[in-house]
Amino acid sequence: MSYLEITQEEPAEATDGVWLTCIECGEHFPPFAGIRYTCDECEGLLEVRYADLPTFADFGDDESAFHGGVWRYSDALPFDEGVSLPEGDTPLHNVPRLEDEIGVERLRVKHEGMNPTGSFKDRGMTVGVRVAQAVGVDRLACASTGNTSAALSAYGSRAGLEVLVLLPAGKVAAGKIAQASLHGARILEVDGNFDRCLDIVKDLADRGEAYLLNSLNPFRLEGQKTIGLEIMEQFMAEEGDFPDRIVLPVGNAGNTAALYKAFRELEATGAIDEDQIPKITGVQAEGSAPMVEAIEEGWDHIERWDDVETKATAIRIGNPVNAPKALPGVRETGGTAVAVTDAEITDAQRSLAEEGVGVEPASAASIAGLRKLREEGVVDTDEQVVCLTTGHLLKDPDAAAEAGTDPEPVPADTDDVLDHLRS
Ligand code: F0G
């Protein structure tokens, strides 16, 4: 039994129409009194619930200064405004050559790398840091493959709070460490992978040493839910329809869970019908694919992979903590999950770059996964698809340089340059 169904019936624990529900046992908790990341009773994952959910017509109707981006959807969020840079309102690119080559009716790329710190994590942090202010903490912490740490450092600094980040030593792309560093986080490089970093940060949070802002924190996913809301609105405005499928890279499965929640809420208000929910389709790297394994095996849980490896370091994760929310999301929407090789990821990164869209390796996994599912006939030619690209090219300059062309040294002389070009 799981309690993923959206009900708007307000329990006694609610504050201003907002409360937390355990998805495993259905227990309710107050949203901001006390700090909890999982259920007090059974340690199940928590979800934020609302007594009054908006429909499309309600979005953007509030005249506040935080009108744009994520806060356009404030009616679906626990606050009306937050610590903002601002975030969201990202482009939904046309990629005509890729669309032709892959062979689907419509392909659009939602480029989350265009957020202020270069990844979708900003959407989660603008809400998460606002909640941290509400519960009254002074030190924020996360484990990270890089992007979460960059976003938390920026938003935490802006809020004037101390930030602690735990990173897997040697496995975080240069751009991300540079961001965490300049925004002033205290950076601990852990001799272990991301999953071990998260184990430790959870322990620190449980001991009251810091407020956890990984996607285990249900409020982060509220912010990330706006990716789904934006895709639905943009696609409808530009294509006159909702997309059939959304393909996204999966690491800790936070976005997968967040998209599913966005669609469950839209369905609960009657804004969309059940058959209009896009098929949520997750992509992992072959070297770290516990979600794909669970979907293929028909499991209702994932088995943690202790040894994970991929060039797409952002999704080098063996224990996706949001799996209990994400696995039903993939299944109930009629989606699937697929694993791709590092070489396929690099090819997809180049294909996107040819369309002018620069992404980091993990992001390109969505295109690589769609390509594979199309080749296997799992995705039909008549589908309208949105691929999510989660992080900017400059996050991982080494991977970009390796996938791209090499600079050619030439003398500082026009004739020599011409000779070189002709040779
Ligand atoms: N793509 C990028 C660029 C990411 O940074 C991440 C996660 C994902 C995809 C996977 O998203 O966890 O919601 O399934 N990065 C986290 C981090 C783990 O620490 O930056 P997810």
Q: Dump pLDDT digits (tens) for 16-49.
A: 999 999 999 999 999 999 999 999 999 999 999 9
Q: Supply angle C-alpha 150, 151, 154, rounded to 5.
A: 90
pLDDT at residue 80 tops 70: yes
Contact present, 145 and 285 (Cβ < 8 Å): no
Q: Which of 315, 325, 327, 367 to mutate to test the pocket of ligand 1 (most atoms within 8 A of CB)?
A: 315
- Tokens 């005249």 belong to which residue? 63
Give the alpha-carbon dihedral of 249, 380, 268, 52, to 10 degrees.
50
Please give the single-letter amino acid code of residue 210: A
Ligand 1 near 284 CB (within 6 A): no
Report which secondary-structure segment, H or E, holds 109: strand 106-111
Ligand 1 near 361 CB (within 6 A): no
What does the alpha-carbon distance between residue 235 and residue 260 come to, in Å, rounded to a whole number?
17
pLDDT tier at 66, thresholds 50, 70, 90? low
pLDDT at residue 64 tops 70: no
Give the number of residues written for the chain.
423
Cα 319 to middle of ligand 1, angstroms? 13
Ligand 1 near 249 CB (within 6 A): yes
Cα 164 to middle of ligand 1, angstroms? 18
What does the alpha-carbon distance between residue 349 and residue 293 come to, in Å, rounded to a whole number?
24
pLDDT at residue 144 tops 70: yes
What does the alpha-carbon distance between residue 321 and residue 180 come to, in Å, rounded to a whole number?
23
Strand 46-50, strand 139-143: pairing: unpaired
Report which secondary-structure segment, H or E, holds 245: strand 245-249
Percent of the chain with pLDDT over 90: 97
Contact present, 110 and 386 (Cβ < 8 Å): yes
Mean pLDDT of the chain: 97
pLDDT tier at 8, thresholds 50, 70, 90? confident
Q: Is the dihedral of CA 345, 350, 354, 357 positive or negative?
A: positive
Ligand 1 near 363 CB (within 6 A): yes
Mean pLDDT within 206-212: 97
Ligand 1 near 74 CB (within 6 A): no
pLDDT tier at 251, thresholds 50, 70, 90? very high
Specify the pLDDT at position 346. Answer: 98
Percent composition of the chain: helix, strand, coil (DSSP 3-state, to 5):
45, 15, 40
pLDDT at residue 171 tops 90: yes
Ligand 1 near 391 CB (within 6 A): yes
Residues 259-309 pLDDT 10s: 999 999 999 999 999 999 999 999 999 999 999 999 999 999 999 999 999
Predicted TM-score (pTM) above 0.85: yes
Strand 46-50, strand 162-168: pairing: unpaired
Ligand 1 near 224 CB (within 6 A): no
Cα 112 to middle of ligand 1, angstroms? 11
What does the alpha-carbon distance between residue 360 and residue 314 come to, in Å, rounded to a whole number?
9
Among the listed residues 262, 154, 149, 163, the one whose alpha carbon sits nearest the alpha carbon of residue 215 = 149
Ligand 1 near 254 CB (within 6 A): yes
Specify the pLDDT at position 67. Answer: 62
Percent of the chain with pLDDT over 70: 98
Give the alpha-carbon dihedral of 176, 313, 111, 222, to 10 degrees.
-80
Specify the pLDDT at position 283. Answer: 99
Closest-CA residue, ligand 1 atom 11, reads 251
Q: How far apart are the first and last CA of the chain?
A: 69
Listed in sequence order, the residues at least 6 apart from 182 whose beta carbon sits closer than 8 Å to its beta carbon are none
98 by DSSP, 3-state: which?
A: helix
